[in-house]
Structure 1
Amino acid sequence: MVSKTQKHVLITGTNRGIGLGLVKAYLNDGWRVSACCRSPEDAIELTSLMELDDDLVVYGLDVTNYDEIQSLASALKGVPLDLLINNAGYYGPKGVSFGNTNVSEWEKVFTVNTIAPQKMAEAFHPNLCLADTACIANMSSKVGSMEDNHSGGGYLYRSSKAALNSVTKSQSLDLAEDDITVVALHPGWVLTDMGGPNALIDIEASVIGLKRILDTISPLNTGEFMDFSGQEIPW
């Protein structure tokens, strides 16, 4: 169980990459970590951390399965949650040009990147309300910025992150009375399976920056869209 003084974070998409990096960072900082991924049996590095740290619990969760989300919320009923990081994401096919959009893939990208963070926020809202101060961090992307779009294309992923930014803004307004801070974060172009080999920063640099932001965030920041270095990104 989470003690009254120990901070508690729930992170999705923790089997690898940024999600796994965030799990390690919060464990190192003494937090209780609820780590979620679709197939824990395949997440060897993640699950092996439970043998080293009692503050980690790994849950099997497909964020597109809303019954599973509700089941996890029921299992954690009454447990305060200081931070919800909606990190799970899906890029879909790359290099999608005008005239070549695959509708079924587009729906999948939206389901993971846009709808799931909203359903997670709704399901764990009671837990967030139990914390003294709480925050929802939605992992967005700079490509979701309308103003920063100078190249076109990227229809599936780009539009899903733009929509997530809209969800974030609405959440920040709707949850303000509950003292829940909500932000959209761009982790940078990171050397992960999604980011590819040409990315500019490694996972550690991204995680350090993201955690630094979340450690110092306040209600004054609610509704903001920032990159891992703390720079505000235009909508």
Structure 2
Amino acid sequence: MMHRNLPGTALVIGASRTLGLALATELLRRGWHVIGTVRGHRHTGLHDLAETSGGRLTVESLDMTDQDQISALRDRLAGHDLDLLFVNAGIAHANVPVGEVTTESFTQVMVTNALSPLRVIETLGPLVAETGTIAVMSSRQGSITMNTNGGHEVYRASKSALNQLMRSYAARHAESSKTLLLINPGWVRTDLGGPGALLEIEESIPGVVDTLEARTGEKGLHFVDHQNQTLPW
């Protein structure tokens, strides 16, 4: 298996807080150069991290649900040769049966969790080196096989849609040598995961980066967890 020299340059989409901020922090700790995005122009923990990074972290503004902003970011990053593009995004509304979900809520979850990550990948993917990696934060809840308990129906559906769209992207780019990853970070105690989740962020993200680095050079699409275990579709 051919591995390019790591660490390199990573673009982390959605790095202002929780999992995304922890991902940027861990990549920096391992020697990567990181470009991290935040929504809007408010000061975030990512800005604080940049101030102590010795110039290895830069902050960009991006609302990834806005295609014009994605295109503008691509133009600003023209000439960069990325080794990793990591799209970290996810929202979940009320945990109710799908028949009780408003059209507006359903649309917002699907646009944020499935459509927008692929728009980012379609637009920014060409900046990633042929030996690089494109990764998206997915979830075991996107696995149809593993859905034996139900619940969180629209969130599950959005992650399944994300996985399916990545399968289509991989099929259209079958000749590419890039590594494509859908990563389940585990059930993590965040606003999204809730207080009853099994893992602290500090227990999840180092494993996510271990998996990223271990999978480097494996072309094609892989659906894996933070312990580098393959998940069923």
CA, structure 1 residues 153+6, in 2 after alignment: closer, same or farther (shift >3 Å)? Answer: closer
After TM superposition, the structure 1 = structure 2 runs for residues 206-217 of structure 1, keeping only pairs within 5 Å, are: 206-217=204-215
- Does 1:164 find its partner at 2:165? no
- Secondary structure of the 2:91 match is coil
- Secondary structure of the 1:77 match is coil
Counterpart Cα distance in 2 of 1:6 and 1:200: 29
How far off is 1:221 after superposition?
Answer: 5.9
How far off is 1:40 after superposition?
Answer: 4.3
Alignment partner, residue 60 of structure 1: 61
8 Å Cα contact 1:210/1:229 also seen in 2 = yes
Deviations 1:102-123 (A, max 9, x none): 1111111111111111111111
Alignment partner, residue 9 of structure 1: 10
How far off is 1:51 after superposition?
Answer: 1.3
After TM superposition, the structure 1 = structure 2 runs for residues 40-119 of structure 1, keeping only pairs within 5 Å, are: 40-43=41-44, 45-53=45-53, 54-91=55-92, 93-119=93-119
8 Å Cα contact 2:140/2:146 also seen in 1 = yes
- Secondary structure of the 2:148 match is coil
Counterpart Cα distance in 2 of 1:185 and 1:149: 17
Counterpart Cα distance in 2 of 1:107 and 1:135: 29
8 Å Cα contact 1:183/1:223 also seen in 2 = yes
TM-score, with length taken from structure 1: 0.91
CA, structure 1 residues 98+169, in 2 after alignment: closer, same or farther (shift >3 Å)? Answer: closer
- How large is the Cα RMSD of the aligned pairs? 1.7
TM-score, with length taken from structure 2: 0.92
Counterpart residue type for residue 83 of structure 1: L
Counterpart Cα distance in 2 of 1:205 and 1:40: 30
Name the count of aligned residue pairs.
228
Unaligned runs of 5+ in 2: none
CA, structure 1 residues 153+198, in 2 after alignment: closer, same or farther (shift >3 Å)? Answer: closer
Counterpart residue type for residue 105 of structure 1: S
Counterpart Cα distance in 1 of 2:6 and 2:86: 20
How far off is 1:158 after superposition?
Answer: 0.6
- Secondary structure of the 2:221 match is coil
8 Å Cα contact 1:186/1:227 also seen in 2 = yes
Unaligned runs of 5+ in 1: none
- Secondary structure of the 2:146 match is coil
How far off is 1:46 after superposition?
Answer: 1.3
How far off is 1:213 after superposition?
Answer: 0.6
Counterpart Cα distance in 2 of 1:138 and 1:5: 19
Deviates further, 146-155 or 195-204: 146-155
